Structure 1
Amino acid sequence: MSDTDIVFQPTVDDLVHAYRLNLWRRYNWKYLLKAFAITSIAYVVLLFGGFRVASGAFPDWRNVWWMAGIAAVVTIGVPLLNHLLLRRAARKIYSQQKTLQQPHTVIWRSDHFVVESPTSHEEFRFADLVHWSEDSYVILLCQSAVMFRLIPKRVLAASQVDLLHRTLLQNGVRKI
């Protein structure tokens, strides 16, 4: 095997780490702030509009603060709930998707990478990737906001990680 070839079998933990990394890359501060603003505006409009129509008067300001509090809880609660339920979902996906339980070979060259398993063979150009992300457990090669290929760092030597980083950067794939 060369520095550009790796063989691994994904585990449930690899899948959990990949999904968590993908989830938290999507739920960044910009997203949370935007979601809070939209939810707050929707609640305030519904409160003012509904209260005004029903009673003919404007609501008390403490009701507006309650609505802002509910919006904050919803904005923070939804990503947190997703994070907490992710391990269960990953276990279910891993048990249902039999290709995840097979050994995978990932080979990367200067302009593309190949993912092989006993039942599939796929080639991807680095230029077709939207971005890539990593944490201490996995490297995600993202084909879209929700579709990605994972490479567990547990199977990579430090030199392979550096080589993969250089290859991705040379091909203009941005890191997020």
Structure 2
Amino acid sequence: MQRTATFTPQEADFVAANRLHLASSFRTPRLLVRFALLWLFCVAVFAAIVAPFTPWREAQAAILVFSAFAAVGVFAVPFAITFCLGPYAVRRRFRQEKQLSDPIEVQWSEEAYEAVTPRITNRIPWSDYVRTAENDRLFMMFLSDATFQLLPKRVLSEAQIADIRTILRRSA
């Protein structure tokens, strides 16, 4: 089996990557803890403002209602922003950063993933990726929480997809 592929990134690849990035981030305990702390802080501030000026029964009801709305806001707003504004931001970035639409030649081995474009060449050992994510459209390999490389499945055979999946599991 050949461990190479060539592709030209498309806007749709980056939109899918943006959504996968959000979805995979929501599975990390660290982000969930941060959102929970933000929610708790919002509720505490609201309670501190409402409680001194409202009878206790009414304050409890107001805090309970606010807690529900704050939970929806804290957890749903990132999804809404990503799904509604994400495609616009991706299109804008795609227009501005010309290197994003450069053709990419990739190859991989048991040790590393290599990507070559007309402007950039890199060879990154699998162990340097802090995490990976996958959906039905692409693989994402993260160098940090925000920096990633993507590999669309549309350019891979089923055997290559299975090979990369196996390598990513081993290196995790």
Give the TM-score of the pair, scaled to structure 2: 0.87
For residue 46 of structure 2, what is the aligned residue in structure 1? 47
The count of residues paired between Structure 1 and Structure 2 equals 170
Q: Is the 8 A contact 1:36 1:71 kept in 2?
A: no
> How far apart are residue 20 of structure 1 and its match?
0.7
For residue 128 of structure 2, what is the aligned residue in structure 1? 128
Give distance in 2, aligned partners of 1:149 and 1:29. 19
Q: Is the 8 A contact 1:32 1:75 kept in 2?
A: no
> How far apart are residue 28 of structure 1 and its match?
3.1
> How far apart are residue 102 of structure 1 and its match?
1.0
For residue 60 of structure 2, what is the aligned residue in structure 1? 61
Give distance in 1, aligned partners of 2:67 and 2:34. 12
Give distance in 1, aligned partners of 2:66 and 2:109. 54
Cα RMSD between the aligned structures? 2.3
* Aligned residues with identical type, % of pairs: 24
Give the AA of the match of 2:106: V
Q: Is the 8 A contact 1:3 1:159 kept in 2?
A: no
For residue 158 of structure 2, what is the aligned residue in structure 1? 158
Give the TM-score of the pair, scaled to structure 1: 0.85
Greater shift after overlay, 100-109 or 60-69? 60-69
1:77 corresponds to 2:76 = yes
> How far apart are residue 145 of structure 1 and its match?
1.5
For residue 143 of structure 1, what is the aligned residue in structure 2? 143
Give distance in 2, aligned partners of 1:137 and 1:101. 18
> How far apart are residue 73 of structure 1 and its match?
2.4
- Map Cα deviations across residues 45-80 of structure 1 (whole Å, 9 max, x no partner): 223322355x49646221111221221221233122
Give the AA of the match of 1:71: A
Shift of the 128–74 alpha-carbon distance from structure 1 to 2, 3 Å rule, reads: same
Structure 1: which 5+ residue stretches go unaligned? none
For residue 27 of structure 1, what is the aligned residue in structure 2? 26
For residue 86 of structure 1, what is the aligned residue in structure 2? 86
Structure 2: which 5+ residue stretches go unaligned? none
Q: Is the 8 A contact 1:51 1:57 kept in 2?
A: no
Shift of the 52–62 alpha-carbon distance from structure 1 to 2, 3 Å rule, reads: closer
> How far apart are residue 130 of structure 1 and its match?
1.1
> How far apart are residue 162 of structure 1 and its match?
1.2
